[in-house]
Amino acid sequence: MPQYVGLPVFAKLSTASTVAATGTTQATAAPLTALVSIVTTCAAGAGVIAAAMLNVQTQVLNRSGNALLVYPPDGVQFEAYGTNAPVSVAVSSTLHVMLISETQGYVF
């Protein structure tokens, strides 16, 4: 289970403007740590792991040339997609993520 970050760390986080998606599984995907992450490099099938921040909305912008897979932190389910299942983000699209507990997150 990942270490979750609470709201007091909010001010210390910023924008990551040149993120490269890596790996094709949750275990090998690039971890995100910023409130706003702009993915500029993504091979087909590659992904990132959403930041483990409870009750904080984060954004993932896909500015690469391929669809991007966004995985939840280990043990978390986005919507009702299944635990550890990724969400696909189309090219030039933005995904908003909010984790409401250590097992449930929502995307919009």
**Residue 19 belongs to some domain of the structure:** yes
Structure confidence by residue, pLDDT tens digits, 8-25: 554 455 789 999 999 999
- Mean of the per-residue pLDDT values of the chain: 91
**Residue 35 belongs to some domain of the structure:** yes
**Residue 106 belongs to some domain of the structure:** no
**Residue 107 belongs to some domain of the structure:** no
At 33 the pLDDT is: 87
Q: Is the pLDDT of residue 66 over 90?
A: yes
Q: Is the pLDDT of residue 53 over 60?
A: yes
DSSP of 37-87: EEEEE--TT-EEE---BBT--EEEEE-SSS-EEEEPSTT-EETTS-BT--E
**Residue 56 belongs to some domain of the structure:** yes
Range of the domain at 68: 7-99
At 75 the pLDDT is: 97
Q: How many structural domains comprise the chain?
A: 1
At 5 the pLDDT is: 55
- Confidence band, pLDDT 50/70/90 cuts, at residue 108: very high
